Amino acid sequence: MTLNQIEYKNLDARQVQLQVIISKSDAHAIKCSKLGISFEETYPNDLAEYMTAITEYNQNEERMKELKALIEEEAREAENQDNIEIEPEVDEIQEPTQE
């Protein structure tokens, strides 16, 4: 596994964690909306967590797009390397001898 693949996998796992935070805040926001109360005033910590999580989530998405392109390029390069024919090495070139 390449470093880019490891970073992508780690970011993907982090995205799941961030989605949990975002979903929790969304649920509280819906509840507040239904009750006609202010989400911002009722759940100030959730709002702060939500804002931080959504910012990180969006940044991670951009980085993951970059990594995906790099990973695809690495795969193409590896495939090209596998397809290169290696010519046998000539150990010594013998000059014709004069007799």
pLDDT band at residue 25 under the 50/70/90 scheme: very high
> Is 70 exceeded by the pLDDT of residue 67?
yes
Task: Tell me the two tokens of residue 48.
Answer: 């702060």
Q: How many CA atoms lie within 13 A of 55 on its CB side?
A: 6
pLDDT band at residue 83 under the 50/70/90 scheme: confident
Question: What residues make up the domain containing 40?
Answer: 3-82
Asked if residue 42 is part of any domain, the answer here is yes
Compute the CA torsion angle 21, 26, 31, 34 (nearest 10 deg): 170
- How deeply is 25 buried, as exposed, middle or buried, from its count of CB atoms within 10 A (0-12, 13-18, 19+)? buried
Asked if residue 95 is part of any domain, the answer here is no
How many folded domains does the chain comprise?
1
Q: What share of the chain is helix, strand, coil (3-state, %, to 5)?
A: 80, 0, 20
Q: What is the mean pLDDT of the chain?
A: 89
* Predicted TM-score (pTM) above 0.85: no
Asked if residue 52 is part of any domain, the answer here is yes
